Amino acid sequence: MSDITGKQSLRFSEAPYIISSAAIVGKKEGEGPLGDYFDMVGEDDLFGCESWEEAESTLQKQAATLALGKADLKPQDLRYIFAGDLLGQTIATSFGLMDFNVPLFGLYGACSTAGESMSLGAMCVAAGYADKVLTVTSSHFASAEKQFRFPLEYGNQRPMSATWTVTGSGAYVVSSQKSHVRISGITTGRIVDYGIHDALNMGAAMAPAACDTIAAHFADFGDPMDSYDRIITGDLGYVGQRILIDLLKEKGMDISTIHSDCGIEIFDKDTQDTDAGGSGCGCSAVTLSAYFLPKLISGEWKKVLFLPTGALLSTVSFNEGKNVPGIAHAILLEHEA
């Protein structure tokens, strides 16, 4: 029995399910168009902590705790955690999840980590290695600005192509136990370098990777595009969305009518001054959980391709003149009656 499908995909013969999820966000995200959908919205972005990094760890801890609670599970019911974040040495994860005392695989896929963690979690459950695993990702506007751009106190100006890192954490319990949302398969991304040099234009850096993974997905699975209700990218924003749609048109694929981007959904650019849209590991993780997953659970949507996108850079690589390559990991989600 092999689940191998085409060059980059797996179609699970024993597909796992998302049995619960949670999304916790910061104040600004709570004020955005999806504000009412999130499980919890912080009063301020320190979440009672003394540093932005500690606040991000707390976000992960709370999202994980809530996802467990919704499924009526305890940490000891989990066999593995798959988790990551954007910070150097993924410290939000290490310090946020250590008290759960569960075997942990630390991941780094930049903002694609929500897709990477769910892919590996699903593979693990589908293989019979675990009955229940938890996948967790997070980002925090202030810790990310400090990590990648400038300390907030500088008050630097931002170009219109810049995205706004989402403060939030999404956690998912993936299990062999049935629910209304099945992870039917995955398409794992390759690193794609399109020669983008601008670290304030992540959308452009990630769109070619999203294009590559979407094209691979359709080649591997062979289902017609009109069988998909939605193709949802992580955080391309307005700039990246245009590029993705154009790149896929060159391949003869038109996703313009069924494409959504979590980074576009989460903020109102006209009133929230978020430029090209939201970004960060947390962006796709919280938006899927709070806004898109309910549509799959209810059956309003039957089939969705969810692909978080990541820009692979650090301040060191950027300052040494390196390009910003991208990667995107796709998850095929289907409604089950």
Nearer to a copy of itself by Cβ, of 189 and 263: the residue is 189
Considering only residues 129-148, where is the footprint of a copy of itself by CB under 8 A? 129-130, 147
Contact (Cβ atoms closer than 8 angstroms) between residue 167 and residue 59: yes
- Using the rule CB under 8 A, is 199 a contact of a copy of itself? no
Alpha helices in 237-299 (DSSP H): 237-250, 262-266, 269-272, 281-287, 293-298
CA 164 → CA 124, 138, 161, 274, 312, distances in Å? 33, 14, 10, 6, 17
The one among 119, 163, 169, 289 contacting a copy of itself by CB under 8 A: 119
Tally of CB atoms within 10 A around 178: 12
Considering only residues 249-278, where is the footprint of a copy of itself by CB under 8 A? none
Token pair 């599970």 is at which residue? 73
Contact (Cβ atoms closer than 8 angstroms) between residue 113 and residue 137: yes
Binding letters toward a copy of itself, positions 65-94, x by CB under 8 A? --------------xx---x-xxxxxx--x
Q: Are strands 164-165 and 230-233 parallel, antiparallel or unpaired?
A: unpaired
Give the C-alpha separation, 104 to 83, whole Å. Answer: 8
- Using the rule CB under 8 A, is 104 a contact of a copy of itself? yes
The one among 18, 25, 55, 126 contacting a copy of itself by CB under 8 A: 126
Please state the closest distance from residue 127 (CB atom) to a copy of itself, in A. Answer: 4
The one among 31, 65, 95, 303 contacting a copy of itself by CB under 8 A: 95
The one among 36, 48, 101, 177 contacting a copy of itself by CB under 8 A: 101
Nearer to a copy of itself by Cβ, of 86 and 255: the residue is 86
- Using the rule CB under 8 A, is 160 a contact of a copy of itself? no
Give the chain's end-to-end CA distance (angstroms, integer).
Answer: 26
Find, among 296, 290, 291, the residue nearest to 331 by Cα. Answer: 296
Please state the closest distance from residue 68 (CB atom) to a copy of itself, in A. Answer: 16
- Using the rule CB under 8 A, is 10 a contact of a copy of itself? yes
Contact (Cβ atoms closer than 8 angstroms) between residue 231 and residue 194: no
Give the C-alpha separation, 275 to 255, whole Å. Answer: 23
Residues that bind a copy of itself (CB under 8 A): 1-4, 8, 10, 50-51, 53-54, 79-80, 84, 86-91, 94-95, 97-98, 101-110, 116, 119-120, 123-124, 126-130, 147, 188-193, 312-317, 320, 322, 325, 327
